[in-house]
Amino acid sequence: MILTLNLNASLDKIYTVDKLEYGGVVRAKIVQNTAGGKGLHVANICKELNENYLATGFLGGKIGEYLQNKLTQKHINHDFISIKNETRTCINITTPDGKQTEILEPGPSINKEETDLFLKKYTQLLTYTDIIVASGSLPNNLPLDFYGTLTQLAKKHHKKFLLDTSGQTLKESLKYKPFFIKPNKDEIEQLTGIKIDSLDTAILQIQKFQNLGISMPVISLGKNGSIIGYQNQIYHAIPPQYKAINAVGSGDAFVAGIAIGLKRNYPIIDIIKLGSACGTANVLEAESGFVSKDNVEKIFNLVKVKQIL
């Protein structure tokens, strides 16, 4: 089973507007409410690709109830800890030129009792889990090394821990050597202070992560694909290019594909191709964190993967 961790889930409100003007009244043409959070995107893609999975984390208040109902309606397997405080709302404003403005709330505070309940559930679920995918930010008052704690527990059970986060949370988590990380170019530059302006600089950073004990570091380069380290090897994946309908959630889709490939014990080239195919298939859908199985299978055969070291 793939276990997706959603510690800072959200209600995502997507507004489509003709024009975004600061200081004025903006009327939305279309309003969409979806169950948001990177981990839920991963769960959704596991469902679409017929992989066994479970989404867990924290949900609270009226928004939390709404999201649980949404997940049930969509037949997403879930088992969340109920918390006292309200789950956050995140806003995405989209204009006809394709630009997106996001307003992200920080998330609720989690008390010690709720944290302990989650850790108990997580430890129990590890028995039935092959791959853990931890995605996104942490709620307000959880320590920055909380993902590190979860990584250690996963390692005790000999399970692979895939981490997709950024900033100080990623920096603190690196000390615990998760199996997989996937910062993008901007996140790497923010983390290290080193500009990633060529394949060579990306490769050098991958090697640094490998030397830290990260088994599968990935750097996303946008249209230039991604650089993937695996054991002592380094690969460059280049997916086909399509006009994007909605790119939100593509990184999450990539991680989902990697997790599924690992779970199914695919050869490393096919794991990389599946991740790239899922990430690319996401841009062809209006819904964030969603892929068509047919598109994934088609794109899989078009992804080019080259071993460069």
At residue 52, the pLDDT reads 98
Whole-model pTM: value is: 0.95
The strand order across the sheet containing 160-164 reads 81-83, 53-60, 2-6, 131-135, 160-164, 180-181, 216-220, 226-230, 233-238, 304-307
Percent of the chain exceeding pLDDT 90 equals 82
Percent of the chain beyond pLDDT 70? 100
DSSP state of 175: G
Task: Enumerate residue ranges in the chain where pLDDT < 50.
Answer: none
What's the confidence (pLDDT) of residue 140?
87
For position 9, what pLDDT does the model report?
Answer: 95
Q: Which pLDDT score, from 0 to 100, does residue 258 have?
A: 99
Per residue in 83-115, pLDDT (tens digit) is: 999 999 999 898 988 788 999 998 999 999 999
**Alpha-carbon span 4 to 42, nearest angstrom:** 7
Q: What are 48-72's pLDDT values in tens digits?
A: 999 999 999 999 999 999 999 999 9
Place of tokens 């923010």: 190
Mean of pLDDT over the chain: 95
Extended strands (E) in 112-211? 131-135, 160-164, 180-181
Domains, the chain, ordered by start = 4-20+27-307 (3.40.1190.20)
Question: In this structure, are strands 28-36 and 81-83 parallel, antiparallel, or unpaired?
Answer: unpaired
